[in-house]
Structure 1
Amino acid sequence: MISQRLNEHWQHYTGTLGGVWEVWRGDKLQNHYNVPWQAVTLPHTYNGLDAMDPDSKYYQGEAWYRYKLQLNNPYPEGRTLLHFEGAGQRTKVYVYTEEIGEHLGGYDEFRIDITEAHALQHRVERYEGKIPLAIMCDNSRELETIPSDTSDFNLYGGIYRYLNLVYVPAISLEHVHIEVDTSGLQQAEATEQRHCRIAVRATLYNPAMKQEELELKLEIKDAAGRCVAKSTLQCKPWQQEQQLAQFELPNPQLWSPAEPALYTCSVTLKSTYGETALTERFGVRYFQFQKKGPFYLNGERLLLRGTHRHEDHAGVGAAMTEAMIREEMQLIKSMGANFIRLGHYQQSRIVLDLCDELGLLVWEEIPWCRGGLGSEQYKQQCRDMLTNMIQQHYNHPSIIIWGLGNENDWECDFDYFDEEQIRRFMKELHELAHQLDDSRLTAIRRCEFCKDIVDVYSPSIWAGWYRGIYTDYEESCKAAFENVDSFFHMEWGADNLATRHVEKVYTGFDFIAGSGASTDERDGDYLLTGGEPRVSRDGDWSETYFCEMIDWYLKCQQSMSWLTGAAQWSFKDFATPVRPDSPIPYLNMKGIVERDLTKKEAYYVFQSYWAEEPMVRIYGHTMKTRWGKPDELKQIRVYSNCEQAELFVNGQSLGVKLRSVDDFPCAGLRWEAVFRPGENHIRVLATQNSIQVEDQLSFVYQVEVWSEPVELRITTHKQEDGRIFVEAAAYDLQGVFCPDASFFVRFGLTGNGRLLDNLGTIHGSRLVQLAGGRAGIYVDPTGGRRAVISETDFVTAGGPAAAVEAAFGKQQPAVPLSIVSVIAEGMKPAYTVLC
């Protein structure tokens, strides 16, 4: 098999066409009536920016890609395939104007065989022997497809995972599955007679039904590359899946988060049509969700410490490159996680490969998410996507759970809702999953009337956010644990705006019922209006509160001996069409990192409980200003996994404190100090087994009292890469900075250059709430020399035009001009000129 990624030289058009001929019509008509094609690189989505546009709904509809394909298949009578690692949400493939294949489903892989397309046999002369390839992707909403558009994520369109050109012989291997039987390990835990059995099964790709003799060679190597088993066989081609060999591995090296040992199985097929090979990795491990008890991996209790992932990134949406994915997954591992739920759909093969390599246990699920249950067509898509997910990701030792759905009690897509019908179909999917793979378990999250059907169940527990207060967490979990055989807490957390910090958090303790009150999220609780008092509606959405909540949850989890595990929602902020009122519109802001992977303070709270490498972090690195009264005692919080830490304020030691998990908050690593007005500097030195780590930060302590903000002031900062950071800050009538101001501001740009917006980050959004009294955005200016005319110059000169004239004289500068504005309701607009 020969495979190559087709990344470069693509052209794209967003919109519908009169027909596939319009893809190529412009070539014949010499650009008359031509479609405005744009050069793009794969992976690509046409929703990379508009998913975060605060002023309009993201585009859902058809879009087109075209490519001139040079073929060079070396195999006699070989097959030429297009292997899509994922494209959304419905895909049709054309060679010239002939449709040769289609696929429904935005997240599973599929292959299109273009060998026998008419245009391959009769090459179009005007393309000089190249194959004109056209691909239509369509993410239009259809009620009879999954996922529902009421799901809390965007249904991206485009070829947003890698597309590969693949050459294979006339007879080749399609799938190789390695079945690992660990019963011999489990039965011999107390002895040295430990072994496992490996069965290797395969399916062929043989569309022409060739019958020539095959020779197959199998070889298994351990993690060190040593051959531990091999065999050869000769046979005729077969249909469906067939077992090729069975091996016994004595005393195998076990896969675990701490030591993710991977074996490889190589199968080489040789025939008169050529030789091809598939190499698959697998691991040896066994696990158990003890009935009414904790989780065990390889016979030992393991507390599953997890998070969740959406395929979504600033500026590119779902079209993440391999480098982006690797950076994200490494951050998750470095945080100390040993588990991840891939919500709410089958994700990239790159993600699963990294979970295997890094040691992250996985719950992966199909996108039957909210909406109810549709017709037979709807059900068949669920079956197909479950089958594809299991077949395509069968060999990954990281996967322990196949998810069958999410929030299936959330009705909205149909004018009927039948619980019994959903139960029957859930049971069908459960049985299908076990038929395809009986070595793993099934699970769902939040559908109480189906919790007895699946192997593992997660109820909805959002103590301290959508319902209740965070100190209700352990009691809520214990009550849910008693109602199912295997309990796993998926999804907890709080929305938090990056760089927003407060001196006193809103916890809801004084206003929200606690101690036994319901903590489950209900339909509509995510809205910012109506309903009962809740922190999600009434709170400050600060990093300060989020860190405090995390601290409490992790402290509790560490002492809950019966707990299987829990996973915070979600590792990264992500785009969603159902949250237009968020402080950054259309963003779910529950991330530990921003949408561009910038770490928030929460990342270090998790590290203080989960990471093994010594670390220390003073809370508030992005809190430029703290405030209070002169001589007021202020708390300094430090998060560390070290046994002790010493704090210094303005060079003076405040003493050494010992870490104790039960001492909330910060496991006892907190100090009180009096800050001096103006600049302050804090340093901490933490020690663990003679290893020392340190952290430091500076901030301004403001003692001046402020009133309501009435104006915005702009500053600019040139970056090394040529961008300009424009920041607006709120001040009151007396000119005192307002560090707790949190209203919306809108940035605009007139003239040359552009705002770097629609990124879904605190400094990449043109409509955003202030955080710490400030908001900022980056500007990409055009060439020429740069001068900055401040908002004060505008006021003095009498307006933007007069300010430019005052700076440059009556003759306008012969360089590009950009006027950046920032406005907020009830305030006079502020401006700065970049030129």
Structure 2
Amino acid sequence: MIKYFCVFVVLGSLLGLTPAEAQESKRLNHNWEFLKQDLGGIWEAVRPVGKGNPESVPLWEAVNLPHCVNATDAVDPDVNYYQGPSWYRTTLDVVNPYQNGRTLLHFEGAGQKTEVYVYTTKVGSHVGGYDEWSVDITDAVNAFKKTEVYKKQFKGKVPVSIRTDNSRDLELIPSDLSDFNVYGGIYRYLNLVYTPALSVDKIFAKAAVDAAGKTGQLGVKARFYNPDKISSGTLFLKLVDPAGKVVAKIEKKVNNLSNDTELWDLQVKKPVLWSADQPLLYTLQYEIQSSAGIAKGTEKIGFRNFEFVEKGPFMLNGKRLLLKGTHRHEDHAGVAAAMTENEIRKEMVMMKDMGVNFIRLAHYQQSRIVLNLCDSLGIMVWEEIPWCRGGLGGDVYKEQARRMLTNMIEQHYNHASVIIWGLGNENDWPGDFPEFDKQKIRAFMKELNELSHQLDISRSTAIRRCDFCSDIVDVYSPSIWAGWYRGNYTDYKGVSEEEFKKVKRFIHVEWGGDSHAMRHSENPDKVLSKIKTGMGADERAGDASLFGGAARISKDGDWSESYLVNLVDWHLKEQETMPWLSGTAYWPFKDFSTPVRPDNPIPYMNQKGVVERDLTKKEAYYVFQSYWTTQPMVHIYGHSWPVRWGEQGEEKMVKVYANCTEAELFLNGKSFGVKKRNSQDFPAAGLRWNLPFVQGENVVSVIAKKGKVTVKDEIKFTYQTEKWTKPVKLTLTKISQQDDIATVEVKLYDDKNVQCLDATNWVNFSLAGDGKLIDDLGTSSGSRKVQVYNGRAMISVKLNKGKSVVAVQSEGLPVAFTNL
């Protein structure tokens, strides 16, 4: 078995300082202009143009950062998302407080190729959409300030123009064959940074601890940013424990400022350990003084010990821990990749509240904000480079992969949460190049594996779904999609055991299934009778298609939330009986956009999330909570299921998901008894009742107990016994209005005016008038083209304090209208 006793801490980013290290840093969020096309040249961004000039082209629009070029077109049902060059421009007040100080632009992420200009001077460029980087604009700014243009045209401000480009390019990673959008734009924060002429570029802190947690060792190295070749300085370091007590401090003269310099070797007795339940962090404070001034900052570090046991489970601080994981794509309704810090925090807290202690960041280095939150919330991380699908390119391709791996490791060493560096995903997927040579892919995977261990021996390496490279990395995840792309979900445990036997260290990332939010089914498992079992559970070429091939749930199932909760329920109850399992990660936490799924119920959306793209919870979220959390909770399945159906007097199942010891269920005020929770009693851990609904309105409530704590839940719905045939008409009705936002709902009826509750027709909303459809969100109620869920669909309208007519169309049915 391999043991990992170290946590490396890196303070810094590639070239130049991160905001935390800088003496002064400012996010450049406002006063930007944007152009979604290319320019004829940089002069078009800065040339003087008179106000109101009708011949002023091209036309720029005002935006704030972070900003994604594909904020809406990624899920526009009528167009392919834009891949090409775009421009951003602004003017800055540049007043560096340091004599002979340096001024930098620090990018936390921009996609995918970026060029930076001060006036007409190109000052830097970068290739790669996910790692951090900086460009020193000092000399160009100083030169521009000496010009008449600076004083007259720009009135003492400095023009900065930035070109981003996400054009298709086979010699770049990630591949455009990937099941996610390769976004463009400045979609993470951009910072203006002032530093003295000598400052800290990176600090590497190796925080090691034994498995018993009795002895800790801290070793600190520094890398300096010193463009003026200053000869010496004095470095001050201080370690503060989680309670705020100073553990140790040191002052050291440094003369070697051109190479990584060893600074500190400190023994820490009985260090406070970082864990998923108690993510306690130390603070490393640093300051460097020199003739150039003072640069200082702080970083968080964590002492913890982890181990992937060979042919066994995962250990944290000497104890077995089941990794309960999910995945995250950098994608959100209305903004695509350009999530704000508050939006990211909300998303990560929702994951932790679901019981997550592990996350795979798919499929690229993600924002420092995400990693900071994983540190503070206690979520362990698998982070990977975007070598994803397509095969293996040439020298430019390989060099980018090496560079992105180096940057990811160096920039995120500081995070106690990181336990795995991912080297690739689905590298067995050909298509970008005429040649697909497995031996060459193996050779490059070995090179990346060696590079990762050279840069950081304290973390494991891993890949997912490339069996011919499974022996290269420390930990391997095969493809297992039981009950979705192959087989039945009841195949899950047996298939996992077989895959476990094939590798030294096994983990299972990516499992689950698509669900169209608010679509429910009275018989979600009926399609399982068509599915062949015993044929494996991996995803194969063509399995994601909704057309052709053998029967599979992904093609022939109803995509209901009802089916997904059964699949999740089964997986989670089985994981409790697999003591050898290191952990799993459900794919993914949130629905996300993808260019390769135009025919899904929400076009261009991967709908496997347990929350929608705007973080609206689906029912499966609560299934995870019932297995993974300890804070008492209870949830009756069906909060978004307004009409159930069946025969008069037929008993229908009601499922309750809870982590409580027992629950009592009531229908229309009458108790139907108390049941004890048993995680192995599928479905719903035994908390299920067959109830005789009455025709019309029904109220179901539950009271659940865990110790002395009582929790409750209630739902109301209509029970329909009338049978329906095929839809023949649509109705469109305003169902609510809040301030200037109205919501309309379409319903499908048969020729006897009975709602068609299993209808899945496509509908298209449109609008004429003062208002605007709130669409292109990639959600079930925020898309103008969408499949209906249980014979209905909704969309909202911003009225703009005026009048509008909303229309809805469905092939073969008369158009319906409503006035707003």
Compute the TM-score of the two structures, normalised by the length of structure 2.
0.96
Q: Which residue does the alignment assign to 1:127?
A: 154
* Letter matched to residue 294 of structure 2: E
- 1:84 is matched with 107
Match of 2:598 in 1: 580
Residue 280 of structure 2 aligns with an amino acid whose one-letter code is A
Residue 551 of structure 1: which of 562, 569, 573 is its match? 569
State, as a whole percentage, how many aligned pairs show the same letter: 55
Determine whether 1:141 maps to 2:168: yes
Output the amino acid matched with 1:578. Answer: V
Q: Summarize the alignment of residues 725-804 of structure 1 with structure 2, pairs less than 5 Å apart.
A: 725-783=743-801
Moved more, 712-721 or 155-164: 712-721
Q: Which residue of 2 aligns with 1:794?
A: none
Question: 1:718, 1:360 → 2: CA distance?
Answer: 39
Query: Counterpart in 2 of 1:541?
Result: 559
Q: CA 1:413–1:228 in structure 2 vs 1: closer, same or farther (change >3 Å)?
A: same
Counterpart of 2:362 (choices 324, 343, 362) is 343
Give the equivalent residue in structure 2 for 1:790.
Answer: none
State the shift of 1:828 in Å.
0.5
Structure 1 contact 615–640 (Cα < 8 Å) conserved: yes
Aligned residue identity for 1:659: R
Question: Contact conserved, 1:594 with 1:600, CA < 8 A, in 2?
Answer: yes
SS at match of 2:65: coil
Report the secondary structure of 1:175's partner residue. strand
Give 3-state SS (helix, strand or coil) of 1:518's partner.
Answer: coil
Match of 1:646 among 642, 652, 664: 664
Instruction: After TM superposition, give the deviation of residue 722 of structure 1 in Å.
Output: 1.9
Whole-angstrom distance in 2 between the partners of 1:310 and 1:833: 38
Q: Pick from 381, 395, 404: which aligns with 1:376?
A: 395
Q: Contact 1:585/1:768 (CA < 8 Å) preserved in 2?
A: yes
Paired residues of 1:573 and 1:587 also in contact (CA < 8 A): yes
Question: Per-residue deviation at 1:535?
Answer: 0.3
Number of residue pairs aligned between Structure 1 and Structure 2: 793
Contact 1:168–1:276 (CA under 8 A) maintained in structure 2: yes
Q: Which amino acid aligns with 2:227?
A: P
Higher mean Cα deviation, 34-43 or 437-446?
Answer: 34-43
Residue 204 (structure 1) aligns with: 224
Is the CA contact 1:592–1:599 (under 8 Å) kept in the aligned structure 2? yes
- Which of the residues 791, 810, 813 maps onto 1:824? 810
Compute the displacement of 1:128 (Å). 1.1
- How far does residue 26 in structure 1 lie from its aligned partner after superposition? 4.6
Match for residue 392 of structure 1?
A: 411
Aligned equivalent of 2:34, options 12, 17, 40: 12
**Any stretches of 5+ residues in structure 2 without a counterpart?**
1-22
2:47 is aligned, of 18, 25, 50, to 25
Cα pair 1:494 1:546 within 8 Å, conserved: yes
**Is 1:214–1:237's contact at 8 Å kept on the other side of the alignment?**
no
Deviation at 1:719, TM superposition (A): 2.2
Q: Indicate whether 1:195 and 2:215 are aligned.
A: yes
**Residue in 1 aligned with 2:675?**
657
CA contact (8 A) 1:26 1:34 kept: no
Residue 407 of structure 1: how far off its partner (Å) = 0.1
Is 2:483 the counterpart of 1:464? yes
User: Quick check: 1:633 aligned with 2:651?
Assistant: yes
**1:731-759 Cα distance to aligned partner (Å, 9 max, x none):** 00011111111111000112221100000
Q: CA shift at 1:121, angstroms? A: 4.5
User: Does the 8 Å CA contact 1:469/1:507 hold for their aligned counterparts?
Assistant: no
Secondary structure of the residue that 2:672 maps to in structure 1? Answer: strand
Q: 1:144 to 1:507 in 2, by over 3 A?
A: farther
Any conservation in 2 of the 1:647–1:653 contact (CA below 8 Å)? yes
Q: Equivalent residue for 1:475?
A: 494
User: Any conservation in 2 of the 1:356–1:398 contact (CA below 8 Å)?
Assistant: yes
2:785 is matched by which residue type in structure 1? L
- Whole-angstrom distance in 2 between the partners of 1:752 and 1:38: 21
Equivalences for residues 180-579 of structure 1 within 5 A: 180-182=207-209, 185-186=210-211, 194-211=214-231, 213-506=232-525, 508-514=527-533, 516-579=534-597
CA contact (8 A) 2:226 2:257 kept: no
Q: Do the aligned residues in 2 keep the contact of 1:346 with 1:366 (CA within 8 Å)?
A: yes
Distance 2:737 2:237 in 1: 56
**CA separation in 1, counterparts of 2:524 and 2:202?**
54
SS of residue matched to 1:215:
strand
Kept in 2, the 8 Å contact 1:77–1:170? The answer is yes
User: Which residue number corresponds to residue 123 of structure 2?
Assistant: 100
Contact 2:632 2:660 (8 Å CA) reproduced? yes
Distance 1:507 1:299, change over 3 A: farther
2:86 aligns with 63
Q: Which amino acid aligns with 2:100?
A: E
Q: CA deviation at 1:246?
A: 1.1
Over the residues paired in the alignment, what is the CA RMSD in angstroms?
A: 1.1
Query: Offset at 1:668?
Result: 0.3
TM-superposed CA distance for 1:690, in Å, is 1.1
Q: Which amino acid in structure 2 is aligned with residue 17 of structure 1?
A: L
State the 1:614 CA deviation: 0.3
In terms of mean alpha carbon deviation, does 118-127 or 248-257 score higher?
Answer: 118-127
1:159 to 186, 211, 216: 186
Separation in structure 1 between the aligned mates of residue 437 and residue 76 of structure 2, nearest angstrom: 36
SS at match of 2:793: strand
| Alpha-carbon distance in structure 1 between the residues aligned to 2:526 and 2:307 | 37
**In structure 1, how many angstroms separate the alpha carbons of the residues matched to 2:265 and 2:63?**
47
- Deviation by residue 1:780-820 (Cα, 9 ceiling, x = unmatched): 1122xxxxxxxxxxxxxxxxxxxxxxxxxxxxxxxx43221
Query: What is the TM-score normalised by the length of structure 1?
Result: 0.94
Letter in 1 for 2:664: E
- CA deviation profile, 1:84-128 (whole Å, cap 9, x unmatched): 000001100000111010000000000010001142443622111
| Bigger relative contact order, structure 1 or 2 (CA pairs below 8 A, ≥6 apart) | 2
Task: Give the residue type in structure 2 aligned to 1:459.
Answer: P
Matches within 5 A, 1:589-600: 589-600=607-618
Q: Which amino acid aligns with 2:96?
A: N
Shift in Å at residue 70 of structure 1? 0.2
Q: 1:286 and 1:218 mapped to 2: Cα distance?
A: 24
> What is the CA distance between 1:501 and its match in structure 2?
0.2
CA distance in 2, matches of 1:43, 1:235: 38
Could you list the per-position Cα deviations for residues 121-161 of structure 1 after superposition, in whole angstroms to 9, with x for gaps in the alignment?
43622111100000001000100000001101111110000
Structure 1's consecutive aligned runs of 4 or more residues displaced over 6 angstroms after TM superposition are: none
Report the Cα distance in structure 2 between the residues aligned to 1:130 and 1:507, rounded to whole angstroms. Answer: 67
| Other structure's SS at 1:56 match | coil
Q: Corresponding residue for 2:66? A: 43
Rounded to whole Å, the distance in 2 between the matches of 1:820 and 1:29 is 38
Counterpart Cα distance in 1 of 2:310 and 2:730: 59
Compared CA separation, residues 697 and 29, structure 1 to 2 (3 A): closer
Counterpart for residue 805 of structure 1: none
Is contact 2:101–2:197 with CA below 8 Å preserved after alignment?
Answer: yes
